[in-house]
């Protein structure tokens, strides 16, 4: 039986509907207001308070084996290989390791507390450009796995991340939203972000999961090698476009 990829057919149809379907005037006005008063600022402040329980920026720098002065640029390189942990990891996994080292209860990677703390720590690198280092073998392997995961079609519909973000699809409209070029949009530099449609703070890996669920794909766990690799790949796309880190982001 020939497989029919319905979402792509819908894209072609909806692409002719025009930009007016992407966002209503009311939503556009709300978005403009939230750009000036991002609700996620509250979560970042909460994350700062949670982070204080682990110490401070000096404690994080010490755990990572870098100077406090180098910390912002170093954070901009995540997910990255951390020798102490023996793997390519996200910042949230680093904070879990710090909690274990200090005998504290771990926050789950999918918890609101971890989202908030991650937003605060990543915001320390604001205005830095991502610096994924593909000359580092572990990070190159993670990037390659992320690219493979991004490109591989899965599920009954035969969809991949690239199905909605390839150059020939970008700009078309799906579920009332124009599909972005992830590099131009700086996706790897603007999460965690406040999602207006969810009224909450979300991380990039959580957003990946939402896309997978909507596409009827098996959802990959946050913190898995594949999910970390996806974040490395998307961060590199932002890096290639020289997009600065800007946390918290604001997304529809």
Distances (CA, A) of 110 to 130, 165, 173, 215: 23, 25, 29, 20
pLDDT value, residue 7:
42
Q: How many domains does the chain have?
A: 1
Return the percentage of the chain with pLDDT > 70, whole number: 84
pLDDT in tens, 200-251: 999 999 999 999 998 889 999 999 999 999 999 999 999 999 999 999 999 8
| Ordered strands of the 193-195 beta sheet | 200-202, 193-195, 249-251
Gap between the terminal Cα atoms of the chain: 37
Report the C-alpha gap between 235 and 179 in whole angstroms. Answer: 18
Residue 14: inside a domain: no
Mean pLDDT over residues 70-77, rounded?
A: 98
Identify how many contiguous H helices and E strands the chain contains and give both numbers.
11, 7
pLDDT in tens, 49-63: 999 999 999 999 999
Of 2-11, 139-148, 151-160, the poorest mean pLDDT is in 2-11
**Structural domain contains residue 111:** yes
Residue 5, domain member (yes or no): no
Q: What is the pTM of this model?
A: 0.85
Question: Does the residue 223 lie in any domain?
Answer: yes
Q: Which domain holds residue 194?
A: 22-251
CA angle 128, 244, 61 (to 5 degrees): 30
Q: Which residues contact 152 (CB under 8 A, 6 or more apart)?
A: 160
Rounded Cα–Cα distance for residues 28 and 22 (Å): 10
Asked if residue 27 is part of any domain, the answer here is: yes
Residue 2 confidence (pLDDT) above 60: no
The domain that holds 239 is classified in CATH as 1.10.760.10
Sorting pLDDT into bands at 50, 70 and 90, what band is 156?
A: confident
Residue in the block written with tokens 């999918």:
110
Span 98-104, average pLDDT? 97
Q: Does pLDDT of 28 surpass 90?
A: no
- 3 within some domain: no
């Amino acid at each position: 039986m020939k497989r029919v990829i319905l979402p792509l057919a819908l894209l072609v149809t909806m692409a002719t509907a025009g930009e007016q379907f992407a966002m209503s005037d009311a939503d556009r006005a709300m978005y403009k207001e939230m750009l000036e008063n991002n609700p996620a600022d509250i979560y970042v402040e909460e994350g700062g308070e949670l982070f204080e329980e682990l110490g401070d920026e000096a404690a994080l720098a010490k755990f990572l084996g870098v100077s406090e002065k180098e910390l912002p640029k170093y954070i901009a390189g995540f997910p990255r290989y951390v020798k102490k942990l023996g793997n390519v990891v996200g910042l949230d996994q680093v904070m879990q390791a710090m909690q274990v080292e200090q005998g504290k209860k771990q926050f789950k990677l999918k918890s609101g507390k971890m989202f908030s703390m991650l937003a605060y720590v990543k915001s320390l690198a604001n205005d830095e450009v991502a610096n994924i280092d593909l000359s580092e073998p572990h990070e190159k392997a993670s990037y390659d796995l992320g690219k493979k995961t991004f490109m591989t079609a899965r599920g009954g519909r035969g969809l991949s991340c690239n199905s909605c973000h390839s150059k020939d699809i970008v700009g078309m409209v799906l579920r009332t939203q124009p599909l972005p070029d992830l590099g131009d949009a700086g996706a790897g530099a603007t999460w965690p972000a406040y999602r207006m449609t969810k009224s909450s703070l979300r991380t990039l890996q959580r957003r990946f999961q939402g896309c997978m669920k909507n596409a009827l794909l098996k959802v990959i766990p946050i913190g898995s090698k594949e999910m970390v690799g996806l974040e490395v790949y998307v961060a590199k796309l932002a890096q290639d476009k020289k997009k600065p880190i800007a946390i918290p982001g604001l997304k529809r």
